[in-house]
Amino acid sequence: MAIDWYMDFVDKGYEPAKDELDALFYFEPAAGISSEEAAGRIASESSTGTWTTLHALPPRMRDLQATVYEIDGRYVRIAYPQGLWEEGNAAQLLSGIAGNVFGMKAIKNLRLIDVSLPQGYIRHFKGPHFGMEGIRKMMRIEGRPLTGAVPKPKVGFSAREHAEIGYETWMGGFDFVKDDENLTSTSFNRFEDRV
Give the rounded percent of residues in the chain with a pLDDT score beyond 70: 95
Which residues, at least 6 apart from 127, have a Cβ–Cβ distance to it below 8 Å? none
Q: Picking from 50-54, 115-119, 180-184, which range would have the lowest pLDDT averaged per residue?
A: 50-54
User: What is the predicted pLDDT for the residue at 181?
Assistant: 84
The residue extents of the domains of the chain are 6-122, 131-194
DSSP 185: S
| Segment 94-99 long-range contacts (CB within 8 Å, at least 24 positions apart) | 96/46, 96/47, 97/21, 97/23, 97/46
CA terminus-to-terminus distance, the chain:
59
The answer to whether the beta carbons of residues 97 and 47 sit under 8 Å apart is: no
pLDDT in tens, 73-92: 999 999 999 999 999 999 99
The fold adopted by the segment(s) 6-122 is Alpha-Beta Plaits (3.30.70)
pLDDT in tens, 161-177: 999 999 999 999 999 99
3-state secondary structure of 8: helix
Q: CA 170, CA 131: separation in Å to the nearest integer?
A: 21
Mean of pLDDT over the chain:
91
Whole-model pTM over 0.75: no
pLDDT in tens, 26-75: 999 999 999 999 999 999 999 988 766 666 777 878 889 999 999 999 99
Q: CA 156, CA 120: separation in Å to the nearest integer?
A: 41
